[in-house]
Amino acid sequence: MVGPVRAFRSSFGRVLAGGMMLVAGLSLVLTAADGGLPALARTGGVPALVATATWALFWRPELEVSDGGLTVRNVFRTIHVPWPCVRRVSTTWTLRLETTDGPVSVWATPIGGVWAARRDDPAAGGVAGAAARATEERLEALRDAGYLAGHTLQEVHVTIRWHVGLIAALVALATWVWLGTMLG
């Protein structure tokens, strides 16, 4: 083993998501208390959809750096990038991995402002910069230890797993919102 597992996510995104989920939850409670189940059936879908979408967009995304590769949990899918697939790491707007199977953008690692993004400088990029440095350091350490020497491109590939449950939940909540407009 070369190093510990490291996880990167946006702190600002988590604060934003936590605040929005709190407001949405409070809205549901107040709606139910004021108008009961009929009011909740009519308008409860909106805060439920907002809370779920906010959680998916800003709380859940993450980049995990481990000896086994990079696990990128974006909004609608999780992408596992084995180390032999990594070609280049950049930080324009967010961490971006150039892989043998195509580019992978990391939603969880936004760059630290417009000027940092324009410079494509990992040192200036907040979460993206820290994640880029950790990724490059782990890749270099694995190469130096000889762990990547025996792999060929035909042996390993990027794998993608769609978040089917989340997508179904968002569709169901959007349907609830639509049906609520029909009831009101």
Residue 15 CA: distances (Å) to CA of 51, 105, 173: 13, 22, 23
Max distance between CA atoms of the chain, in angstroms, equals: 66
Segment 48-74, tens digit of pLDDT = 999 999 999 999 999 999 999 999 999
Asked if 109 contacts 94 with a C-beta cutoff of 8 angstroms, the reply is yes
Residue 184 CA: distances (Å) to CA of 24, 29, 34, 107: 20, 19, 16, 37
Segment 120-130, tens digit of pLDDT = 444 556 888 89
Domain residue spans in the chain? 6-183
Alpha-carbon distance of 184 to 177, in angstroms, equals 11
Asked if 81 contacts 158 with a C-beta cutoff of 8 angstroms, the reply is yes
pTM for the model? 0.84
Mean pLDDT, rounded, for 94-118: 81
Question: Angle at which helices 45-54 and 164-183 pack, to 10 degrees?
Answer: 160
